[in-house]
Structure 1
Amino acid sequence: MNSDEPSLQSDSWNAEGWRRPPDAYWRSLQLFNGYRTAAALVLLMAVAFWGDTLQFGSRDMRLFMIGAASYAAFALAMFAIIHTREHFTWQLAIQVGGDIGFVVLLMYASGGLSSGLGLLLLTSLAAAGLVSRGQLTLFFAAIATIAVLLEHTYEILRFSEGGAQYAQVGLLSIAYFATAWLAHTLARRSLASEQLAAQREIDLANMAQVNQLVIQDMEHGVIVVDGEGIVRQVNTAAERMIGGLRGGGVVALKDRAPALHARVEQWLRDQQGRETPDAFDLGANLRARLVPVAPRRGAGAVIFLEDLARIKAEARQLKLAALGRLTANIAHEIRNPLGAISHAAELLQEEPEVSAGAQRLTTIIRDNTRRLDRMVNNVQTLNRGERAKRERFLLAPYLRAFVEQFVATEKLAANVIELHLETDPHVMFDRDHLNQVLWNLCQNALRHSHRGPGSIRLLVGRAGRGNAVRLEVVDDGPGLPPESRSKVFEPFFTTSPGGTGLGLYLAREICEANGAMLEYVESPGGARFAVTCAAG
C-alpha cells in the first residue's frame, strides 16, 4: 500500500498512477476546512469585540491578530487547493500542520497554556482522524504534543517561569493521544462498515441481476406492480401473453390490461384477504396468481400468469407419450396371435367344403385382422420415431408422380385428383415422410369425397413472406363436424368405421419431425388440410 494516498477498492486512478480518493473524502476535507475557517474568524471577532475581557492576545495582541488573520487566510487558501483534488494525504497533513502551528502561535501570544487555546487541537485531531479514516492520526497527536511542549519550554526559558504547568501540558498531551486513538478506532470501524456496505451493495446488485435473469427465463409470466398499479417489472412471457407492457416511460396496468387491473386493484384494497382470492382466471386460457411484495397488500403485488393452453398441451403430450408406450407394448404382444388368426382364416377359406356363411365369416375375420395389422404398424412406426432425412427437391414433379401412383393404386380415374400449382418451389422434406403424409391425407379425402372429377385437389402456393411453402389437400365431401375439429389430430380418434384413428396423428408427428406443420383449415364445403414447410 502506498503511504501517500489512501488505498480503497473503490478509488479511481489519476494520470500518474496514484489512487484517487472518492468524492466523500474530499467533501469531508472541505467540511474540516470550513470548521478551521470559522474558528479563525471567531477568534478575530472575539478579540475585536471583547478583547479587553478575554485573555486572547494578553502577551502580544499584535502577534495574536497577525496569527489569527494568517490562520483565516490559510484556511481560505486551502479551499482552492482542495478544489484540485490531488494528493489527499498531503493536503490533510498540511492542514493539520497548519492547525498545530497557528494554534501554538496563538497560545504563545495569549500567555501560553492558561489561555485554553490548546483545546482547539482536540477538535482538529479528532476531525483529522475521521477524515483520513484513521491514517496518521497518532502521528498528528505526537506532533501536537511536541509543539505544545516546545512552546511551554520556550516560555520557561525566556520568561523564567516555573515548571509547575508541565503537569497540565502532560494532561493535555494525554488528551491529544486519547482523542487521536478514539478517532482512529472510530474511523477504522467506520471504514469497515463502509466496506461491508459496499460489498453488500455489490451482492445485492448481483442478486438483483440474477433474479432478473431468472424472471426473464421463467415460463410463467411475471408482472410487478406498485400500489398505484404502475408496472415496475415484466418478463418476456408476460409481454407475450398480454403485450404492450414494455412501452417507454410509465406504463399503467389499467391501460394495457383493464380486466387484470380491476382484479388486482380489488385484491390490493382487501387487506385481510377475506373477500378476494389470490388466484383467478382471465379468460379461457390465462390464470393469474397474486403475491404481495410487502406484509401489507397495498404496497404492490407480483402477478404470476399461467398459460393454461400451454399447460393443457404439456399434460396432453405427457398423456400421449404414456399412451404411446402402452399401445406399443400392446401392439408388440398381439402381433403374433393376430398373425395366427389371419393365417387360420386364410386356411379356412381354402377348404373345399366351406359354406357360404362360413366364407362370409372368414372374410370378416380377414378384413378385421388386416385392420388390426395396420393399426399395429402405425403404432410401431409412431413408437420408433424415425429421424427425418430432409433433402431439397422440386415439389411439382414429385406431386405429379405421387398423383399417378395414387390413382393407379386406388384404381381411380385420372381426373379425380387435380393439381393446382401457383408456383414451382423447392422444399426441404424427407421424401418418404412426405409420401406417407400425402397418402394418408388423400386416402381420408377419397373416403369422404364423391370420387368424381376434381373431388380431390392439391393446392401449392407460398406462405408467410415467401420463405415457406403451403400444400393443401381439399375434398368435396361434407367436411368435419364442428365438434370433431378439435379432436381430429388426437390418437385413436376417427369418424370412419374402418379407421384406426392414428393416421392424422402420425402425419402431424411426421411433419413436426421435418420442421413442418399440419393443420386443419376451416372452409366452406369439404375438409381442407394444409402442410406448411420450409422452402428449399
Structure 2
Amino acid sequence: MNRDARRAHVVHTGTTWRSAVTLSFYRSAIAFGLVATLSAADGHGLFAPDFPSLFRAVCLTYLALAACLAGAALVHWPGLAVHLFVQILVDVVMIVLASFSGNGASGGLAMLLLAPLAAAGILLPSRLSGLLAALAALGLIGQEILRHWQLADAHTDFVQAGILGALYFATVFVAYGLARRIRVSDASAASHASQARDMAELNRRIIDRMQTGAIVVDANDRIQILNHAALELLDYSDAESPPATLTDLPPTLTETLATWRSRHAIPPLIEVAGRPLQPQFSALGGDETPTLIFLDDARRASEQAQQMKLMSLGRLTASIAHEIRNPLGAISHAEQLLAESPRLGADDRRLLAMIHRHCQRIDRIISDVLGLARRSAQQPRILELAAWVPEMVADYRETRDDPPQFSQMGDWPFHRVRFDPSQLRQVLFSLWDNSNRHARRDRAPRIELRAHIDANRNLVLDIVDDGPGIAPDLLDRILEPFFTTAADGTGLGLHIARELCEANGARLIPMNHARGACFRILLPRTIDEDPNS
C-alpha cells in the first residue's frame, strides 16, 4: 500500500456521515441564500447579474441539488467517499456557473468555494481534493475567458481569478495538512488509549489471580478494586453481590484501617470468618487518595515458613547422615566385636548392652529425621473414612505385638476427607503408637475414634486413649521436635504427625479428655455429603 493509499485509508476510516450531513446543510443554506438574494434584488437594482435568466436557473438548480444531496446524506447513499466527492463537485460546478452568470470573479461569488474546498481537504484524500481545487481554479479562469468573449463591454479580471485559483489550492492543502496532523494525533491518542485499556485489563487479570487479597478504597470509602482472593479471604465468595463500600467489609478490618489512617501503625493480625488474616495498608498518594489494602492468609504464611524450615531441616539431616551415622556405624560394629570376646565380665557386658541400646536409639532418631525431611510430595485423594479407617485399624493390629482395642463413635457413614492416604496412615499409626505407649498397664489398651462436624463445617477426628492424659504445662510443647517424656522416645513421632497434617491442610491439636489424652485432627476440606445422593 503506497503513501497516498494509506492516507486515503486513514481519511476514509476517520470520516463519518455526520460531516457529510453538516456539509449538506451548509450547501442548502448557500443555495437558499442565493435564491433569496436574487428575489430581494429584483426591481430594486441591488444585484444585477449579467445573465439574469441563467443565474436564476443556476440558483434554483443548486437549491434542488442541495436538497437532494442532503437527503442522500441522511440515508447514507451512496458510499461515503463518492458522496463527498459528488457534493463538492456540485459546489464547484454550480458556483462557477453562478459566478459566470453573475458578475464574474470580481463579483465575490467565487469566494463561496473556499468552505467546500476546505472540507475537501479535510475529508477527502489529497489527490481528490487537489483535483477539485484544480477544477475550481480552471473553471474560474475559464468562465472569465468565456465572459470576455460573450460580453465585449463586461469587466473581466484574470488577475483576481488567478489569485482565487491559487487561494483554492492553498486552502485545500493547508486544510489537508492540518487535518492529517489532527488525524495522526487522534490515531496516536487512540493507540495510547487502547494500550492503556489493555494494560488496565492486564493489571486487572493479574490482580484477580493473585493469591494475596487486594482491595482499593477511595477517599469516600468506596471500593474500587476487590480481587477474587479478597472475596475468598473475607468469606464473600458466595455472596450475591460483592461489597461496594468500606462499611460492607468486616468490622475488624474497617476498625484496623481507621486506626492505621489515624496513626499509621503496623496493623495487627485480625480474624475474619475464623481465618487469621494479616492486613497491610498503603496510601497511593496523599491523605485524600485511595488506600491499597493487602490481605494475607496467616496460615498460608505459616505454611510457607514451615516449608522453609523443612528445607533447612533437609540440609541439616544430610549433614547428620554424613557426620553422625558413619561414626555411629563404627561404634556399633566395635560393640558387636567386643560382645564376641569370651573374657568379658558381667559389668563389661552390661556396659556393652548400654552402648548397643543407645546406638539403636540414635539410629532411630536419625531415621525419623531423615524420614521427615525426605518425605515425598503430597498426593491427596478423597477418602471415605467409614471404609478406610477400619482397614487401617486392621493393618495396625496385624503389625503390633500388643495391639490395643479400638472403638468408633459418631456418625461415620458419609464423612469423606481429602488427604494423602500414605501420610494419613503414618499420622494415625504414630498417634496410635503414642496412645498405646502411654496406656494403662492393668488391662489391654483402649483407643476410641470419634468423628463429627463442628460449627465451621470442618471434620473433627478425635483419637482418645485411656491413659493418664497430658500434663497441662506440656500441651504447648508436646508437638515440638525432640520433646519426649519417654526414656526410649525420640521426640519426633508427634512432631512428624503434625507436619504431615499441616502439609495436607489439616491441624493436629493435643488436648485432654475425660478418659485420657486426646489428639484432634481438624480437616477443613471435608466433603460430608452422601456420595450417592
TM-score range relative to shorter protein? 0.7 to 0.9
- Whether 1:154 and 2:154 are equivalent positions in the alignment is no
Gaps of 5+ in 2: 271-275
Q: Structure 2: which amino acid aligns with 1:333?
A: E
**Aligned partners of 1:55 and 1:115 also within 8 Å:** no
Query: Structure 2 CA distance, aligned partners of 1:34 and 1:107?
Result: 21
**Correspondence for 2:105 among 105, 113, 122:** 113
Q: Which moved more, 1:32-41 or 1:524-533?
A: 524-533
Deviation at residue 265 of structure 1 after TM alignment: 6.5
Deviation at residue 175 of structure 1 after TM alignment: 0.4
**Aligned partners of 2:246 and 2:254 also within 8 Å:** yes
Q: Structure 2: which amino acid aligns with 1:38?
A: A
Deviation at residue 157 of structure 1 after TM alignment: 0.9
What is the TM-score when the length of structure 2 is the normalising length? 0.79
**Correspondence for 1:383 among 373, 384, 395:** 373
2:228 counterpart residue number: 236
- The Cα offsets for residues 229-258 of structure 1, whole Å up to 9 and x where unpaired, read as 211222222222224398648811222244
Gaps of 5+ in 1: 12-19, 269-274
Q: Structure 2: which amino acid aligns with 1:311?
A: A
- The Cα offsets for residues 394-446 of structure 1, whole Å up to 9 and x where unpaired, read as 6366345334335x52x36x6x4445694599999988766544331111112
1:200 counterpart residue number: 192
1:17 counterpart residue number: none
Query: Structure 2 CA distance, aligned partners of 1:54 and 1:315?
Result: 102
| Helix, strand or coil at the partner of 1:186 | helix
**Pair 290,490 (structure 1): closer, same or farther in 2 beyond 3 Å:** same
- The Cα offsets for residues 469-511 of structure 1, whole Å up to 9 and x where unpaired, read as 9865321345556776566555334455543232133335556
**Correspondence for 1:72 among 32, 52, 63:** 63
Query: Structure 2 CA distance, aligned partners of 1:488 and 1:53?
Result: 119
Deviation at residue 222 of structure 1 after TM alignment: 1.5
**Pair 361,534 (structure 1): closer, same or farther in 2 beyond 3 Å:** farther
2:245 counterpart residue number: 252
Deviation at residue 81 of structure 1 after TM alignment: 0.9
Query: Structure 1 CA distance, aligned partners of 2:173 and 2:248?
Result: 62
**Correspondence for 1:280 among 252, 259, 267:** 267
**Aligned partners of 2:147 and 2:156 also within 8 Å:** no
**Pair 4,426 (structure 1): closer, same or farther in 2 beyond 3 Å:** closer
2:273 counterpart residue number: none
Q: Structure 1: which amino acid aligns with 2:200?
A: A
- The Cα offsets for residues 11-48 of structure 1, whole Å up to 9 and x where unpaired, read as 9xxxxxxxx856x5211222222222222333344445
**Pair 72,304 (structure 1): closer, same or farther in 2 beyond 3 Å:** farther
1:323 counterpart residue number: 313
**Correspondence for 1:395 among 388, 392, 415:** 388
**Pair 328,253 (structure 1): closer, same or farther in 2 beyond 3 Å:** same
1:16 counterpart residue number: none
| Helix, strand or coil at the partner of 1:281 | coil
**Aligned partners of 2:243 and 2:249 also within 8 Å:** no
**Correspondence for 2:519 among 497, 504, 528:** 528
1:271 counterpart residue number: none
Query: Structure 1 CA distance, aligned partners of 2:502 and 2:53?
Result: 102
**Correspondence for 2:358 among 368, 381, 386:** 368
Deviation at residue 463 of structure 1 after TM alignment: 7.9
**Correspondence for 2:301 among 293, 297, 311:** 311
1:459 counterpart residue number: 449
- Residues 499-518 of structure 1: matches in 2 within 5 Å? 499-508=489-498, 517=506
Query: Structure 1 CA distance, aligned partners of 2:469 and 2:47?
Result: 113
Q: Which moved more, 1:433-442 or 1:132-141?
A: 433-442
**Aligned partners of 1:442 and 1:456 also within 8 Å:** no
Deviation at residue 102 of structure 1 after TM alignment: 1.9
Q: Structure 1: which amino acid aligns with 2:70?
A: F
Q: Structure 2: which amino acid aligns with 1:92?
A: L
Aligned residues: 509
1:166 counterpart residue number: 158
- Whether 1:220 and 2:226 are equivalent positions in the alignment is no
**Aligned partners of 1:59 and 1:111 also within 8 Å:** yes
**Pair 113,202 (structure 1): closer, same or farther in 2 beyond 3 Å:** same
Query: Structure 2 CA distance, aligned partners of 1:260 and 1:37?
Result: 67
**Pair 340,214 (structure 1): closer, same or farther in 2 beyond 3 Å:** same
What is the TM-score when the length of structure 1 is the normalising length? 0.78
Deviation at residue 178 of structure 1 after TM alignment: 0.8
Deviation at residue 311 of structure 1 after TM alignment: 2.5
**Aligned partners of 2:214 and 2:227 also within 8 Å:** yes
**Correspondence for 2:27 among 33, 36, 39:** 36
| Helix, strand or coil at the partner of 1:519 | strand
2:437 counterpart residue number: 447
- Residues 328-367 of structure 1: matches in 2 within 5 Å? 328-342=318-332, 347=338, 354=345, 364-367=354-357
Deviation at residue 300 of structure 1 after TM alignment: 2.0
Deviation at residue 193 of structure 1 after TM alignment: 2.0
1:89 counterpart residue number: 81
- Whether 1:183 and 2:175 are equivalent positions in the alignment is yes
**Aligned partners of 1:229 and 1:265 also within 8 Å:** no
**Pair 258,527 (structure 1): closer, same or farther in 2 beyond 3 Å:** closer
- Whether 1:140 and 2:127 are equivalent positions in the alignment is no
Deviation at residue 131 of structure 1 after TM alignment: 2.1
**Pair 194,54 (structure 1): closer, same or farther in 2 beyond 3 Å:** farther
Query: Structure 2 CA distance, aligned partners of 1:50 and 1:262?
Result: 83
| Helix, strand or coil at the partner of 1:374 | helix
Query: Structure 2 CA distance, aligned partners of 1:148 and 1:343?
Result: 121
| Helix, strand or coil at the partner of 2:202 | helix
Query: Structure 2 CA distance, aligned partners of 1:43 and 1:98?
Result: 15
- The Cα offsets for residues 55-85 of structure 1, whole Å up to 9 and x where unpaired, read as 6453344544443343333223223211333
| Helix, strand or coil at the partner of 2:116 | helix
Deviation at residue 369 of structure 1 after TM alignment: 3.1
2:49 counterpart residue number: 58
Query: Structure 2 CA distance, aligned partners of 1:175 and 1:326?
Result: 91
CA RMSD of aligned residues (A): 4.3
Query: Structure 2 CA distance, aligned partners of 1:502 and 1:444?
Result: 11
